[in-house]
Amino acid sequence: MKKLALIGCGGIGAYHLDHFLQFKDLSLAGFCDVTVERAEGFAKKAGQGRAFADYLDMYDEVKPDMVFICVPPTCHGNIEFETIKRGIPFFVEKPVALDADLTREMAARVKERGLIAASGFQCRYDNINDAAKTYIAGNTVLTVQASRVGGIPEVPWWRNKFTSGGQLVEQTIHQMDMLRYLLGVEPDTVYSVAGRGWIGQKECPGYFTDDLSTTLITFKNSVTATMMTGCYAKNGVAWESKMSFGARDSRMDYVLCDSVTVYTEGNKAAAGKSASVIKGDGVQDKDSGEYTEITRSDVDFGLLCDRTFVDAALSGDASKIRSPYEDACKSVLFTLACNRSMKSGCPEKVVY
Ligand SMILES: NC(=O)c1ccc[n+]([C@@H]2O[C@H](COP(=O)([O-])OP(=O)(O)OC[C@H]3O[C@@H](n4cnc5c(N)ncnc54)[C@H](O)[C@@H]3O)[C@@H](O)[C@H]2O)c1
């Protein structure tokens, strides 16, 4: 059986392990964490595999056929370069790095080696994307309004922008990535402003990051978008991660990992057209005639994302991977341009 290894046995590592336990055609051969007790805990849960504190030892001894890299954002670079050198197909969690030059260098080396590599943008595997893409193909989208507001994640590295990249780069990158994926066009320019000062040291020791930011994005096809994101919400008073795509005579609300709702004008032709191309529950308002079509998320997209990479590594055919490494690097560079803009106070070009 082919051997899978995992580096970084923390929160997201556990999420992937739950998926691996459903894959009966693989040997879960090695788990690595600098805190070796975590790796031992994973091996125990898997009921197989060895624990390591150093990935080089794991590579030398286990000789994995594929690896999942699930370390914090600042821990990238050496692991990937060694993995590429050894020609091991890898899946790496987003964001692939916090440094633009490092991101480009790693992408170039993966390409040069022709290695199968993917990143953890699992939202790309959600079934709601079929409805969203159908809508975008059939309607001229002019603008997008998007947001994500929640609380502060538990992991200590998240609270410092130097170690997390900030919320837009670490978390809201899922939506920034989906904007690229759904619109099928690249961003051109971003202008981002950040706000701080509402969350203090007393409330959250070690907190040195933005409480919120708002970004104006122009895409290469002249579509404009805004993305507001914040981690200030207390007691679960979060917003849904919604992106509203506006066309002249229709609108699509895309709620990440949840649903797609399409609103069309009240005439029968529009309603009929919408109903025939988009699956889901249709509702027509009796008074206004406005037609609403809803598609709900009903697949385990995280599981699909992992399995797609595993299948690619097993077969050597990467064509089904929806978030290839080089493309994931572009989403990172997109969000890093936003950070540059927050710092410079000026609009910044997105440079890949
Ligand atoms: N795709 C998603 O939806 C999603 C969700 C959560 C986190 N993430 C991403 O996953 C990454 C990890 O996040 P997390 O929440 O699991 O963090 P975490 O802190 O819970 O876990 C990271 C683990 O990596 C280990 N580690 C660090 N450097 C290492 C090294 N050189 N070798 C071996 N182990 C090392 C740490 O000891 C820790 O156990 C982050 O980049 C985060 O953005 C993605």
Please compute, for residue 4, the number of CA atoms within 13 A of its CA located in the half-sphere on the CB side: 27
The pLDDT assigned to 269 comes to 43
Q: What is the CA radius of gyration of the chain?
A: 21
Pocket of ligand 1 contains residue 190 by CB under 6 Å: no
- Characterise 291 by phi-psi region: left (phi > 0), alpha (psi -120 to 50), beta (else): beta
Q: Is the CB of 7 under 6 A from ligand 1?
A: yes
The answer to whether 90 and 117 are in contact (CB under 8 A) is yes
Choice from 7, 15, 18, 33 to test ligand 1 binding pocket (greatest atom count within 8 A of CB): 33
Ligand 1 centroid vs 7 CA: distance in angstroms?
9
Closest CA to 146 of 125, 165, 122, 123: 123
Whether 229 contacts 168, CB under 8 Å: yes
**CA of 79, closest atom in ligand 1:** 31
**Ligand 1 neighbourhood includes 80 CB (under 6 angstroms):** no
Q: Which atom of ligand 1 is nearest to the CA of 157?
A: 19
Cβ–ligand 1 distance for 55 under 6 Å, the answer yes
Nearest to 339 by CA among 154, 161, 196, 184: 161
CA–centroid distance, 113 to ligand 1, in Å, is 25
- For the chain, first and last CA: distance in Å? 38
Select 124-299+336-344's CATH number: 3.40.980.10, 3.30.70.1290, 3.40.50.300, 3.30.360.10. 3.30.360.10
- Amino acid 288: pLDDT: 66
- Assigned token pair, 2: 């082919």
- Ligand 1 centroid to residue 5 C-alpha, Å: 15
Beta bridge partners of 194: 213
**Distance of alpha carbon 117 from alpha carbon 321, whole angstroms:** 9
CA–CA gap between residue 280 and residue 190 (Å, rounded): 35
Which residue has its alpha carbon closest to ligand 1 atom 11? 72
Q: Which residues of the chain does CATH 3.30.360.10 include?
A: 124-299+336-344
The span from the CA of 229 to the CA of 243, in Å, is 12
Say which CATH topology domain 2-123+301-323 has: Rossmann fold (3.40.50)
What does each C-alpha distance from 85 to 19, 59, 106, 141, 236 come to in angstroms? 27, 12, 11, 43, 45
Among 7, 9, 12, 322, residue to substitute to test ligand 1 (most atoms within 8 Å of Cβ): 12
- Give yes or no for residue 177 CB within 6 A of ligand 1: no
The finding on whether 12 has its CB within 6 A of some atom of ligand 1 is yes
CA of 322 to the centre of ligand 1 (A): 22
CB 53 less than 6 A from any atom of ligand 1:
no
| The predicted structure's pLDDT at residue 267 | 45
* Averaged pLDDT, groups of 10, the chain, 352 residues long: 98 98 98 98 98 98 98 98 98 98 98 98 97 96 97 95 98 98 98 96 95 98 98 85 95 95 66 42 66 89 98 98 98 98 98 97
- Which protein residue's CA is at the shortest distance from atom 7 of ligand 1? 12
Decide if 67 contacts 6 (C-beta within 8 A). yes
Pick from 75, 91, 66: nearest CA to 58: 66
User: Where in the chain do CATH 3.40.50.720 domains reside?
Assistant: 2-123+301-323
Enumerate residues 6+ apart whose C-beta is below 8 A from 264. Answer: 249, 250, 270, 271, 273, 274, 290, 291, 293
Beta strand 259-264 with 291-296: parallel, antiparallel or unpaired? antiparallel
Separation of CA 2 and ligand 1 centre (Å) = 24
Could you give the CA distance from residue 339 to residue 337 in angstroms, rounded to a whole number? 5
Rounded Cα distance, 147 and 175, in Å: 9
Rounded to the nearest angstrom, the distance between the alpha carbon of 231 and the centre of ligand 1 is 19
